[in-house]
Protein backbone atom coordinates (compact mmCIF):
# COMPACT_ATOMS: atom_id res chain seq x y z
CA UNK A 1 0.00 0.00 0.00
CA UNK A 2 2.86 2.45 0.62
CA UNK A 3 3.14 3.13 -3.12
CA UNK A 4 -0.12 5.09 -2.90
CA UNK A 5 1.05 7.32 -0.04
CA UNK A 6 3.94 9.54 -1.21
CA UNK A 7 4.67 10.90 2.23
CA UNK A 8 4.92 7.41 3.71
CA UNK A 9 6.95 6.12 0.76
CA UNK A 10 9.36 8.94 1.29
CA UNK A 11 9.62 8.34 5.07
CA UNK A 12 10.05 4.62 4.59
CA UNK A 13 12.90 5.03 2.13
CA UNK A 14 14.55 7.61 4.39
CA UNK A 15 14.35 5.16 7.33
CA UNK A 16 16.01 2.48 5.19
CA UNK A 17 18.67 4.89 3.98
CA UNK A 18 19.36 5.99 7.54
CA UNK A 19 19.86 2.35 8.57
CA UNK A 20 22.36 1.83 5.75
CA UNK A 21 24.28 4.95 6.81
CA UNK A 22 24.38 4.05 10.49
CA UNK A 23 25.60 0.55 9.60
CA UNK A 24 28.27 1.95 7.25
CA UNK A 25 27.12 0.05 4.13
CA UNK A 26 29.02 0.95 0.94
CA UNK A 27 27.73 0.46 -2.61
CA UNK A 28 27.95 1.98 -6.10
CA UNK A 29 24.51 1.18 -7.51
CA UNK A 30 21.26 -0.28 -6.20
CA UNK A 31 18.62 -2.67 -7.48
CA UNK A 32 15.10 -3.19 -6.12
CA UNK A 33 13.62 -6.69 -5.96
CA UNK A 34 10.70 -6.64 -8.43
CA UNK A 35 8.06 -5.43 -8.06
CA UNK A 36 7.03 -4.02 -4.69
CA UNK A 37 10.48 -2.68 -3.77
CA UNK A 38 10.95 -0.78 -7.04
CA UNK A 39 9.27 2.45 -5.87
CA UNK A 40 11.30 2.36 -2.64
CA UNK A 41 14.54 1.92 -4.57
CA UNK A 42 13.54 4.73 -6.96
CA UNK A 43 12.83 7.02 -4.04
CA UNK A 44 16.21 6.30 -2.41
CA UNK A 45 17.95 6.79 -5.75
CA UNK A 46 16.27 10.16 -6.38
CA UNK A 47 16.85 11.48 -2.88
CA UNK A 48 20.50 10.44 -2.62
CA UNK A 49 21.77 10.41 -6.21
CA UNK A 50 22.77 6.73 -6.23
CA UNK A 51 22.18 5.15 -9.67
CA UNK A 52 19.63 2.41 -9.92
CA UNK A 53 19.48 -0.78 -11.99
CA UNK A 54 16.37 -2.76 -12.89
CA UNK A 55 15.99 -6.51 -12.91
CA UNK A 56 13.58 -7.92 -15.47
CA UNK A 57 11.70 -10.57 -13.58
CA UNK A 58 10.28 -12.29 -16.64
CA UNK A 59 13.72 -13.08 -18.10
CA UNK A 60 14.38 -16.52 -16.69
CA UNK A 61 17.35 -17.42 -18.77
CA UNK A 62 19.58 -14.58 -17.72
CA UNK A 63 22.56 -16.13 -19.48
CA UNK A 64 21.30 -15.17 -22.92
CA UNK A 65 18.88 -12.29 -22.44
CA UNK A 66 19.28 -8.96 -20.72
CA UNK A 67 17.91 -9.48 -17.24
CA UNK A 68 19.64 -6.43 -15.75
CA UNK A 69 18.88 -3.04 -17.30
CA UNK A 70 20.88 0.11 -16.64
CA UNK A 71 24.42 1.50 -16.74
CA UNK A 72 27.04 -0.33 -14.68
CA UNK A 73 30.55 -1.75 -14.81
CA UNK A 74 31.71 -5.22 -13.89
CA UNK A 75 33.14 -5.22 -10.36
CA UNK A 76 30.85 -2.48 -9.03
CA UNK A 77 28.98 -3.18 -5.80
CA UNK A 78 25.19 -3.34 -5.98
CA UNK A 79 22.87 -2.88 -2.98
CA UNK A 80 19.66 -4.93 -2.99
CA UNK A 81 16.50 -3.15 -1.87
CA UNK A 82 13.49 -5.17 -0.70
CA UNK A 83 10.34 -4.41 1.27
CA UNK A 84 10.06 -7.57 3.40
CA UNK A 85 12.39 -10.45 4.08
CA UNK A 86 10.98 -13.80 5.17
CA UNK A 87 13.15 -16.69 4.00
CA UNK A 88 15.54 -14.59 1.90
CA UNK A 89 14.56 -16.52 -1.22
CA UNK A 90 13.35 -13.57 -3.31
CA UNK A 91 16.50 -11.63 -2.47
CA UNK A 92 18.58 -14.56 -3.65
CA UNK A 93 16.62 -14.66 -6.91
CA UNK A 94 17.78 -11.10 -7.55
CA UNK A 95 21.38 -11.70 -6.45
CA UNK A 96 21.89 -14.42 -9.07
CA UNK A 97 21.32 -12.32 -12.24
CA UNK A 98 23.34 -9.44 -10.75
CA UNK A 99 26.30 -11.73 -10.10
CA UNK A 100 25.84 -13.18 -13.57
CA UNK A 101 26.70 -9.74 -15.02
CA UNK A 102 29.71 -9.52 -12.65
CA UNK A 103 28.29 -7.11 -10.09
CA UNK A 104 29.27 -7.68 -6.45
CA UNK A 105 26.44 -8.00 -3.96
CA UNK A 106 27.29 -7.67 -0.27
CA UNK A 107 24.44 -5.74 1.34
CA UNK A 108 20.66 -5.96 1.39
CA UNK A 109 18.33 -3.35 2.85
CA UNK A 110 14.74 -4.13 3.79
CA UNK A 111 11.92 -2.21 5.38
CA UNK A 112 10.82 -5.13 7.59
CA UNK A 113 12.65 -8.24 8.71
CA UNK A 114 9.93 -10.74 9.58
CA UNK A 115 12.49 -12.62 11.71
CA UNK A 116 11.67 -15.98 10.14
CA UNK A 117 15.23 -17.01 9.35
CA UNK A 118 15.94 -14.73 6.38
CA UNK A 119 18.87 -13.03 8.04
CA UNK A 120 20.66 -16.29 8.83
CA UNK A 121 20.07 -17.56 5.32
CA UNK A 122 21.45 -14.39 3.72
CA UNK A 123 24.41 -14.37 6.11
CA UNK A 124 25.19 -17.94 5.11
CA UNK A 125 25.52 -16.62 1.55
CA UNK A 126 27.79 -13.78 2.68
CA UNK A 127 25.12 -11.05 2.55
CA UNK A 128 24.64 -8.44 5.28
CA UNK A 129 21.01 -7.64 6.05
CA UNK A 130 20.06 -4.10 7.14
CA UNK A 131 16.47 -3.74 8.26
CA UNK A 132 14.70 -0.49 9.07
CA UNK A 133 12.42 -2.45 11.42
CA UNK A 134 12.05 -5.93 12.77
CA UNK A 135 8.57 -7.36 13.09
CA UNK A 136 8.92 -7.58 16.88
CA UNK A 137 9.82 -3.90 17.06
CA UNK A 138 6.71 -3.03 15.03
CA UNK A 139 4.55 -5.25 17.22
CA UNK A 140 5.93 -3.77 20.44
CA UNK A 141 5.29 -0.27 19.13
CA UNK A 142 1.73 -1.08 18.08
CA UNK A 143 1.03 -2.59 21.49
CA UNK A 144 2.58 0.41 23.25
CA UNK A 145 0.20 2.72 21.39
CA UNK A 146 -2.75 0.39 22.01
CA UNK A 147 -3.21 -0.21 18.27
CA UNK A 148 -3.09 -4.00 18.66
CA UNK A 149 -3.82 -6.06 21.73
CA UNK A 150 -1.35 -8.28 23.58
CA UNK A 151 -3.34 -11.33 22.43
CA UNK A 152 -2.62 -10.48 18.79
CA UNK A 153 1.00 -9.80 19.63
CA UNK A 154 1.30 -13.23 21.28
CA UNK A 155 -0.37 -14.96 18.32
CA UNK A 156 1.95 -13.27 15.82
CA UNK A 157 4.99 -14.16 17.91
CA UNK A 158 3.87 -17.76 18.10
CA UNK A 159 3.33 -17.86 14.32
CA UNK A 160 6.82 -16.47 13.73
CA UNK A 161 8.34 -19.01 16.13
CA UNK A 162 6.54 -21.90 14.45
CA UNK A 163 7.31 -20.79 10.91
CA UNK A 164 11.05 -20.45 10.92
CA UNK A 165 12.46 -20.94 7.45
CA UNK A 166 16.08 -21.56 8.34
CA UNK A 167 16.02 -25.33 8.17
CA UNK A 168 19.31 -25.78 9.99
CA UNK A 169 17.64 -24.23 13.09
CA UNK A 170 14.66 -26.32 14.17
CA UNK A 171 11.78 -24.13 15.38
CA UNK A 172 11.81 -23.70 19.13
CA UNK A 173 8.19 -24.69 19.52
CA UNK A 174 7.39 -26.87 16.53
CA UNK A 175 3.86 -28.21 16.62
CA UNK A 176 3.84 -31.92 17.43
CA UNK A 177 3.04 -34.26 14.55
CA UNK A 178 -0.68 -34.87 14.32
CA UNK A 179 -0.37 -38.62 13.80
CA UNK A 180 2.37 -41.19 14.10
CA UNK A 181 3.31 -42.96 10.93
CA UNK A 182 4.79 -46.22 9.66
CA UNK A 183 8.26 -46.13 8.14
CA UNK A 184 8.66 -46.11 4.38
CA UNK A 185 10.47 -49.49 4.68
CA UNK A 186 7.50 -51.04 6.44
CA UNK A 187 5.10 -49.71 3.82
CA UNK A 188 7.07 -50.95 0.80
CA UNK A 189 5.84 -54.58 0.94
CA UNK A 190 2.27 -53.33 1.43
CA UNK A 191 2.27 -51.53 -1.93
CA UNK A 192 0.37 -53.57 -4.51
CA UNK A 193 1.78 -51.63 -7.44
CA UNK A 194 5.40 -52.65 -8.07
CA UNK A 195 6.54 -49.11 -8.76
CA UNK A 196 4.93 -47.93 -5.53
CA UNK A 197 6.96 -50.56 -3.71
CA UNK A 198 10.10 -49.46 -5.52
CA UNK A 199 9.50 -45.83 -4.56
CA UNK A 200 9.10 -46.60 -0.84
CA UNK A 201 12.28 -48.69 -0.98
CA UNK A 202 14.14 -45.97 -2.83
CA UNK A 203 13.10 -43.31 -0.31
CA UNK A 204 14.21 -45.47 2.62
CA UNK A 205 17.52 -46.40 0.94
CA UNK A 206 18.39 -42.91 -0.23
CA UNK A 207 16.88 -41.16 2.82
CA UNK A 208 14.94 -38.58 0.88
CA UNK A 209 11.28 -37.68 0.50
CA UNK A 210 11.98 -34.74 -1.80
CA UNK A 211 10.66 -34.43 -5.33
CA UNK A 212 11.87 -31.48 -7.38
CA UNK A 213 9.51 -29.98 -9.97
CA UNK A 214 11.87 -29.15 -12.85
CA UNK A 215 9.77 -26.40 -14.44
CA UNK A 216 12.66 -24.74 -16.28
CA UNK A 217 12.71 -23.35 -19.81
CA UNK A 218 14.19 -26.08 -22.01
CA UNK A 219 15.02 -29.80 -22.02
CA UNK A 220 18.71 -28.93 -21.75
CA UNK A 221 18.16 -26.82 -18.62
CA UNK A 222 15.97 -29.57 -17.21
CA UNK A 223 18.67 -32.19 -17.74
CA UNK A 224 21.23 -29.89 -16.14
CA UNK A 225 18.96 -29.36 -13.13
CA UNK A 226 18.24 -33.11 -12.91
CA UNK A 227 21.98 -33.80 -12.75
CA UNK A 228 22.49 -31.13 -10.06
CA UNK A 229 19.60 -32.09 -7.77
CA UNK A 230 19.60 -35.81 -8.64
CA UNK A 231 21.59 -36.89 -5.57
CA UNK A 232 18.91 -35.38 -3.29
CA UNK A 233 15.60 -36.46 -4.82
CA UNK A 234 13.47 -39.58 -4.89
CA UNK A 235 11.39 -38.26 -7.79
CA UNK A 236 12.02 -35.68 -10.50
CA UNK A 237 8.74 -34.15 -11.65
CA UNK A 238 8.46 -32.78 -15.18
CA UNK A 239 6.10 -30.84 -17.46
CA UNK A 240 7.64 -31.63 -20.84
CA UNK A 241 4.74 -29.99 -22.70
CA UNK A 242 6.12 -26.57 -21.75
CA UNK A 243 9.25 -27.08 -23.86
CA UNK A 244 9.62 -26.04 -27.53
CA UNK A 245 10.81 -29.52 -28.33
CA UNK A 246 10.93 -32.95 -26.67
CA UNK A 247 12.70 -35.79 -28.40
CA UNK A 248 13.43 -39.44 -27.71
CA UNK A 249 17.03 -38.40 -27.10
CA UNK A 250 15.97 -36.00 -24.31
CA UNK A 251 13.90 -38.80 -22.78
CA UNK A 252 16.85 -41.20 -23.00
CA UNK A 253 19.18 -38.70 -21.30
CA UNK A 254 16.65 -38.16 -18.52
CA UNK A 255 16.32 -41.92 -18.01
CA UNK A 256 20.12 -42.18 -17.82
CA UNK A 257 20.20 -39.49 -15.13
CA UNK A 258 17.43 -41.29 -13.24
CA UNK A 259 19.55 -44.45 -13.27
CA UNK A 260 22.75 -42.59 -12.37
CA UNK A 261 21.24 -40.78 -9.37
CA UNK A 262 18.61 -43.36 -8.37
CA UNK A 263 15.38 -41.39 -8.79
CA UNK A 264 12.04 -41.93 -10.52
CA UNK A 265 10.60 -39.70 -13.25
CA UNK A 266 7.10 -38.26 -12.86
CA UNK A 267 5.50 -36.49 -15.83
CA UNK A 268 2.82 -34.34 -14.17
CA UNK A 269 0.45 -34.70 -17.15
CA UNK A 270 -2.85 -34.59 -15.22
CA UNK A 271 -4.83 -36.68 -17.69
CA UNK A 272 -8.55 -35.85 -17.63
CA UNK A 273 -10.29 -37.52 -20.57
CA UNK A 274 -12.27 -40.67 -21.30
CA UNK A 275 -10.44 -44.00 -21.29
CA UNK A 276 -10.21 -44.34 -25.06
CA UNK A 277 -8.58 -40.92 -25.47
CA UNK A 278 -6.08 -41.24 -22.63
CA UNK A 279 -4.84 -44.50 -24.16
CA UNK A 280 -3.71 -42.46 -27.18
CA UNK A 281 -2.46 -39.50 -25.14
CA UNK A 282 -0.42 -41.61 -22.70
CA UNK A 283 1.13 -44.08 -25.13
CA UNK A 284 1.44 -41.97 -28.27
CA UNK A 285 1.49 -38.37 -29.45
CA UNK A 286 4.72 -36.44 -29.57
CA UNK A 287 5.66 -37.04 -25.94
CA UNK A 288 5.15 -40.81 -25.62
CA UNK A 289 4.98 -40.36 -21.85
CA UNK A 290 4.51 -44.04 -21.05
CA UNK A 291 7.84 -44.85 -22.73
CA UNK A 292 9.99 -42.91 -20.29
CA UNK A 293 8.00 -41.60 -17.31
CA UNK A 294 7.75 -44.02 -14.38
CA UNK A 295 4.87 -42.14 -12.80
CA UNK A 296 2.05 -40.03 -14.17
CA UNK A 297 -1.18 -38.65 -12.72
CA UNK A 298 -4.86 -38.19 -13.57
CA UNK A 299 -8.01 -36.44 -12.46
CA UNK A 300 -10.95 -38.68 -11.65
CA UNK A 301 -13.50 -36.22 -13.13
CA UNK A 302 -14.25 -38.54 -16.10
CA UNK A 303 -14.90 -41.52 -13.80
CA UNK A 304 -13.00 -44.82 -13.39
CA UNK A 305 -12.67 -45.38 -17.18
CA UNK A 306 -9.66 -43.07 -17.10
CA UNK A 307 -7.85 -45.46 -14.75
CA UNK A 308 -8.67 -48.42 -16.99
CA UNK A 309 -7.42 -46.57 -20.09
CA UNK A 310 -4.14 -45.54 -18.49
CA UNK A 311 -3.69 -48.99 -16.97
CA UNK A 312 -4.05 -50.58 -20.40
CA UNK A 313 -0.94 -48.71 -21.55
CA UNK A 314 1.10 -48.40 -18.37
CA UNK A 315 0.60 -51.69 -16.53
CA UNK A 316 2.75 -53.86 -18.80
CA UNK A 317 5.50 -51.23 -18.75
CA UNK A 318 5.63 -51.35 -14.93
CA UNK A 319 4.33 -47.77 -14.54
CA UNK A 320 2.35 -46.28 -11.64
CA UNK A 321 -0.49 -43.77 -11.46
CA UNK A 322 -1.22 -41.06 -8.90
CA UNK A 323 -4.79 -39.82 -8.61
CA UNK A 324 -5.31 -36.13 -7.92
CA UNK A 325 -7.29 -36.20 -4.68
CA UNK A 326 -6.59 -32.57 -3.82
CA UNK A 327 -4.76 -29.63 -5.40
CA UNK A 328 -2.60 -26.97 -3.79
CA UNK A 329 -4.23 -24.03 -5.58
CA UNK A 330 -6.64 -21.56 -4.03
CA UNK A 331 -10.30 -22.29 -4.67
CA UNK A 332 -9.67 -25.86 -5.85
CA UNK A 333 -12.83 -27.92 -6.32
CA UNK A 334 -11.02 -31.12 -5.39
CA UNK A 335 -12.10 -31.51 -1.78
CA UNK A 336 -14.71 -33.05 0.53
CA UNK A 337 -16.71 -35.86 -1.06
CA UNK A 338 -14.74 -35.67 -4.27
CA UNK A 339 -11.52 -36.40 -2.38
CA UNK A 340 -13.19 -39.33 -0.56
CA UNK A 341 -14.36 -40.79 -3.87
CA UNK A 342 -10.84 -40.51 -5.26
CA UNK A 343 -9.54 -42.30 -2.15
CA UNK A 344 -12.05 -45.12 -2.72
CA UNK A 345 -11.14 -45.44 -6.43
CA UNK A 346 -7.47 -45.73 -5.51
CA UNK A 347 -8.19 -48.47 -2.97
CA UNK A 348 -10.00 -50.45 -5.67
CA UNK A 349 -7.28 -50.08 -8.28
CA UNK A 350 -4.12 -50.60 -6.26
CA UNK A 351 -2.56 -52.77 -8.94
CA UNK A 352 -1.96 -49.67 -11.04
CA UNK A 353 -2.74 -46.73 -8.73
CA UNK A 354 0.27 -46.18 -6.47
CA UNK A 355 -1.07 -43.20 -4.55
CA UNK A 356 -2.29 -39.63 -4.58
CA UNK A 357 -1.55 -36.01 -5.13
CA UNK A 358 -2.71 -34.74 -1.74
CA UNK A 359 -2.51 -31.61 0.35
CA UNK A 360 -3.87 -32.61 3.77
CA UNK A 361 -4.45 -36.39 3.89
CA UNK A 362 -4.80 -36.31 7.70
CA UNK A 363 -7.95 -34.23 7.24
CA UNK A 364 -9.71 -36.44 4.69
CA UNK A 365 -11.76 -38.28 7.27
CA UNK A 366 -10.86 -41.61 5.64
CA UNK A 367 -7.81 -43.80 6.17
CA UNK A 368 -5.92 -44.77 3.04
CA UNK A 369 -4.00 -48.05 2.74
CA UNK A 370 -0.39 -47.72 3.92
CA UNK A 371 0.76 -49.11 0.56
CA UNK A 372 -0.54 -45.96 -1.18
CA UNK A 373 1.78 -42.95 -1.24
CA UNK A 374 0.86 -39.27 -0.83
CA UNK A 375 2.78 -36.63 -2.75
CA UNK A 376 2.22 -32.92 -2.09
CA UNK A 377 3.03 -29.88 -4.26
CA UNK A 378 2.90 -26.30 -3.02
CA UNK A 379 5.91 -26.50 -0.68
CA UNK A 380 8.38 -23.78 0.26
CA UNK A 381 10.42 -23.07 3.37
CA UNK A 382 7.98 -20.29 4.25
CA UNK A 383 4.21 -20.64 4.03
CA UNK A 384 2.60 -18.20 1.56
CA UNK A 385 1.70 -18.25 -2.09
CA UNK A 386 2.19 -16.70 -5.53
CA UNK A 387 -0.01 -14.20 -7.38
CA UNK A 388 -1.72 -16.89 -9.46
CA UNK A 389 -3.31 -18.93 -6.70
CA UNK A 390 -0.50 -21.26 -5.64
CA UNK A 391 -0.51 -21.85 -1.87
CA UNK A 392 2.58 -22.97 0.02
CA UNK A 393 3.03 -25.04 3.14
CA UNK A 394 6.34 -25.82 4.83
CA UNK A 395 8.04 -29.27 4.69
CA UNK A 396 7.25 -29.79 8.39
CA UNK A 397 3.63 -28.77 7.83
CA UNK A 398 3.22 -31.11 4.87
CA UNK A 399 4.97 -34.19 6.27
CA UNK A 400 4.38 -33.71 10.00
CA UNK A 401 0.99 -32.11 10.46
CA UNK A 402 -0.76 -32.96 7.20
CA UNK A 403 0.52 -36.52 6.96
CA UNK A 404 1.88 -36.57 3.41
CA UNK A 405 4.90 -38.65 2.32
CA UNK A 406 6.67 -36.66 -0.40
CA UNK A 407 7.23 -32.91 -0.72
CA UNK A 408 7.24 -31.52 -4.27
CA UNK A 409 9.26 -28.32 -4.60
CA UNK A 410 9.58 -26.28 -7.78
CA UNK A 411 10.52 -22.62 -7.54
CA UNK A 412 11.96 -23.06 -4.05
CA UNK A 413 14.72 -25.11 -5.68
CA UNK A 414 15.15 -24.19 -9.33
CA UNK A 415 14.98 -20.43 -8.70
CA UNK A 416 17.54 -20.56 -5.88
CA UNK A 417 21.02 -19.20 -6.56
CA UNK A 418 22.36 -22.70 -6.00
CA UNK A 419 19.62 -25.26 -6.76
CA UNK A 420 21.69 -28.22 -5.53
CA UNK A 421 22.21 -26.52 -2.17
CA UNK A 422 18.53 -25.60 -1.95
CA UNK A 423 17.56 -29.20 -2.80
CA UNK A 424 19.83 -30.40 0.01
CA UNK A 425 18.11 -28.02 2.45
CA UNK A 426 14.62 -29.17 1.42
CA UNK A 427 15.74 -32.78 1.58
CA UNK A 428 17.01 -32.33 5.14
CA UNK A 429 13.85 -30.48 6.19
CA UNK A 430 11.59 -33.13 4.64
CA UNK A 431 13.53 -36.01 6.15
CA UNK A 432 13.65 -34.47 9.60
CA UNK A 433 9.88 -33.94 9.52
CA UNK A 434 9.44 -37.60 8.53
CA UNK A 435 11.71 -38.89 11.30
CA UNK A 436 9.99 -36.64 13.84
CA UNK A 437 6.60 -38.11 12.93
CA UNK A 438 7.55 -41.80 13.18
CA UNK A 439 5.74 -43.94 15.71
P1 LIG B 1 6.19 -24.51 -7.35
O2 LIG B 1 7.17 -23.71 -8.18
O3 LIG B 1 6.85 -25.17 -6.13
O4 LIG B 1 4.97 -23.71 -6.98
O5 LIG B 1 5.76 -25.69 -8.34
C6 LIG B 1 4.77 -26.62 -8.03
C7 LIG B 1 4.70 -27.70 -9.09
O8 LIG B 1 3.70 -28.64 -8.74
C9 LIG B 1 4.32 -27.20 -10.47
O10 LIG B 1 4.96 -28.02 -11.41
C11 LIG B 1 2.82 -27.40 -10.54
O12 LIG B 1 2.39 -27.64 -11.87
C13 LIG B 1 2.66 -28.65 -9.71
N14 LIG B 1 1.38 -28.77 -9.02
C15 LIG B 1 0.92 -27.85 -8.10
O16 LIG B 1 1.58 -26.84 -7.83
N17 LIG B 1 -0.27 -28.05 -7.47
C18 LIG B 1 -1.04 -29.12 -7.68
O19 LIG B 1 -2.09 -29.28 -7.05
C20 LIG B 1 -0.54 -30.08 -8.61
C21 LIG B 1 0.66 -29.88 -9.24
BR22 LIG B 1 -1.50 -31.59 -8.94
pLDDT digits (tens, 9 = 90+) for 19-38: 999 999 999 999 999 988 99
Q: Is 165 in the pocket of ligand 1 (CB under 6 A)?
A: no
Under 8 Å between Cβ of 396 and 204:
no
SS3 180: coil
Q: Which atom of ligand 1 is nearest to the CA of 411?
A: 2
Q: Check the CA dihedral 148-152-154-160 and report its sign.
A: negative
- Cα of 210 from ligand 1 centre, angstroms: 14
Under 8 Å between Cβ of 281 and 273:
yes
Q: In this predicted model, what pLDDT tens digit does every residue of 240-281 receive, in sequence order?
A: 999 999 999 999 999 999 999 999 999 999 999 999 999 999
Under 8 Å between Cβ of 404 and 363:
no
Nearest CA to ligand 1 atom 13: 377
Q: Which of 270, 288, 340, 341 is catalytic?
A: 270
Q: Is 65 annotated in the active site?
A: no
Q: Which of 334, 379, 384, 410 to mutate to test the pocket of ligand 1 (most atoms within 8 A of CB)?
A: 410
Under 8 Å between Cβ of 373 and 354:
yes
Q: How far apart are CA 68 and CA 71, in angstroms?
A: 9
Under 8 Å between Cβ of 3 and 13:
no
Q: Is 393 in the pocket of ligand 1 (CB under 6 A)?
A: no
CA 332 to chain centre: 18
Tell me the whole-structure pTM to 2 decimals. Answer: 0.67
pLDDT averaged per 10 residues in sequence order, the chain, 439 residues: 94 96 95 94 96 83 71 96 90 88 95 91 90 93 92 88 62 47 96 98 98 98 98 98 97 98 98 98 97 98 98 98 97 96 97 98 95 97 90 95 97 95 97 91
Q: DSSP string covering 4-57, please?
A: G-HHHHHHHHHHHHHHHHHTT---SEEEEPTTTTHHHHHHHHHHHT--EEEE-T
Amino acid sequence: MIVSYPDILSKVSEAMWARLQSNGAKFDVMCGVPYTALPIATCMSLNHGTPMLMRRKEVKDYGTKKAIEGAFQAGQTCLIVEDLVTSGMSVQETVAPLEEVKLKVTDVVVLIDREQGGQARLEADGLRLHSAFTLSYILDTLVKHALVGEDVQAKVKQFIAENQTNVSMPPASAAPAAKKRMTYEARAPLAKNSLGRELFELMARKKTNLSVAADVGSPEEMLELADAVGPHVCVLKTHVDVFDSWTADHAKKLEELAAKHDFLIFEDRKFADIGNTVVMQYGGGIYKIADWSHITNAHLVPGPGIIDGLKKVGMEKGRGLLLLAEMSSKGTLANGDYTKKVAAAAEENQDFVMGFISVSPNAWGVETSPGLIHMTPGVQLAAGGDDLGQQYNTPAGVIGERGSDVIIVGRGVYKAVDPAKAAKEYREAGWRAYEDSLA
